[in-house]
Structure 1
């Protein structure tokens, strides 16, 4: 069994799976056909500050999650909700994500999965404080916390939980909000794929490879779900996450979504391996940026 989804791209990435010996529940990962195998594992690129009109904003969003597909009939039902908030503190982004999924499997019965994820990421991309707690039926599967720093030459992550340790981060690694900005900048620039390293603090094994496909940059999308999103460019993206072992040709997990230029996501497609869930944006508020910083 694996654990829950993590902060998706900029808050809506599922958290990396936590493997246990328990039965059923969610499992991330689906083969990427026609991917080119190791093509995602090129030397990290330094992703520059966005030059297009990419301005990430504070937000509070909630999503309804529904079962989209079940493979092999193992998962009989699945439903849930997710809330995601970003607070602009002038010098940093403070984020919170709460994910709650209830599923019923043919062999394992009912499973209640809960994930709470919080970060504080400096806007210069140099510092990240993080905390992740994942539970299954009120039992803690995983708790991860610590701080990470980055410089142009690389960086370090200092874990407090589950064990105190320090790991190196490669040059070119991005923190979550910077990762989102890089995706949007790539789409606005007409790039169809990028493969940055990501460190988000959802697992205790350091950074991971990501392979992102973007599908155009639409300046005036039809019928945005909320008036707050009117007149914002959008892009459809697909993100695959890989661990850093040399033989990792299969993604740990995948997610698709539509991104607006301010970092809000809708039309989520979350692949848990033996089942997929769709996420519909139900509520959205966008606080004003701080007047004095």
Structure 2
């Protein structure tokens, strides 16, 4: 899982057919990690659900939901509910997305549209929040394309990557710049000391990965671009993620896998 936001060898290094992703549904319990006083957060709890299906022949579908309840230092609370669905065609030919954000059960943001890959650029046709057409760079990656490229790089022992990413986030007009650090290959060796959820990943190869997301339209007075947030996780060779950590600068959120369901894989000779 790479946030609905979740790198490639810079320009246009597409994913190979050799990277095979496991259709699955993963649920993560989220809790507050480190926090600084200026964050104004007294507590946080939540749940993230990532439902992934499809293959290289049929395309990839993602249903994602992230619900969090914040308690502030003044005694107030707020529930945020982010819901997204997307479909990415084979070979990243197009990317359809719908995203809704609710705050205390009230819809505050909705984005819907389709991005198409062209010879020199990718075009986006937005329907919500308003009808609009725009172009993004031809080297910009869609989310599953991005994930596959990370796995390809990791498999080839490439440890640093950069890419521009489009996932339809916020108003559908934003392209994030990302940098990714990929750690050394490891094997999940639980030695029998694990619950049923963790045991399903016993013996699987993974890499520790950290992805930093930047908004190129925002920099500080020095001109230095600071990350909007960073996502760290274990990325398994089948595309499943565990041990999540979201770092927003003045607070962090940790995600522990609460359940994992593997779906039946469809036949696809391209995998």
User: Per the shorter chain, which TM-score range?
Assistant: 0.7 to 0.9
CA contact (8 A) 1:269 1:277 kept: yes
CA distance 1:215–1:75, shift in 2 (3 Å): same
- Secondary structure of 1:183's counterpart equals helix
Q: Deviations over 1:232-265 (max 9, x none)?
A: 3201111111123274601111111110011110
Q: Deviations over 1:153-178 (max 9, x none)?
A: 22101111111111112121111001
- Secondary structure of 2:183's counterpart equals strand
Q: Are 1:210 and 2:163 an aligned pair?
A: no
Structure 2: distance between partners of 1:272 and 1:121: 28
79-88 or 220-229: bigger deviation: 220-229
Q: Are 1:46 and 2:22 an aligned pair?
A: no
Q: Are 1:56 and 2:24 an aligned pair?
A: no
130-139 or 226-235: bigger deviation: 226-235
RMSD: 2.4
User: Which of these residues, 50, 53, 78, is aligned with residue 84 of structure 1?
Assistant: 50
- Secondary structure of 2:92's counterpart equals coil
Question: How many Å apart are 1:186 and its aligned residue?
Answer: 1.3
CA distance 1:77–1:116, shift in 2 (3 Å): same
Question: How many Å apart are 1:44 and its aligned residue?
Answer: 4.5
Residue correspondences, number = 256
Structure 1: distance between partners of 2:251 and 2:93: 36
- Secondary structure of 1:216's counterpart equals coil
Structure 2: distance between partners of 1:274 and 1:108: 19
Structure 1: distance between partners of 2:99 and 2:201: 29
CA distance 1:124–1:243, shift in 2 (3 Å): same
User: Which of these residues, 95, 99, 109, is aligned with residue 132 of structure 1?
Assistant: 99
Corresponding residue for residue 237 of structure 1: 209
- Secondary structure of 1:252's counterpart equals strand
Question: How many Å apart are 1:107 and its aligned residue?
Answer: 3.4
User: Which of these residues, 104, 118, 128, is aligned with residue 161 of structure 1?
Assistant: 128
TM-score by length of 1: 0.80
Structure 2: distance between partners of 1:92 and 1:113: 30
Q: Deviations over 1:193-246 (max 9, x none)?
A: 11111111112223221111111122x322285344333320111111112327
Query: Unmatched 5+ residue regions in structure 2?
Result: none
Question: How many Å apart are 1:88 and its aligned residue?
Answer: 1.4
Structure 1: distance between partners of 2:43 and 2:85: 28
Of Structure 1 and Structure 2, the greater strand share is in 2
CA contact (8 A) 2:110 2:128 kept: yes
In the TM superposition, structure 1's runs of 4+ consecutive aligned residues that sit over 4 Å from their partners are none
CA distance 1:78–1:191, shift in 2 (3 Å): same
CA contact (8 A) 1:44 1:171 kept: no
- Secondary structure of 1:84's counterpart equals strand
Structure 2: distance between partners of 1:178 and 1:64: 26
Corresponding residue for residue 99 of structure 1: 66
Corresponding residue for residue 269 of structure 1: 245
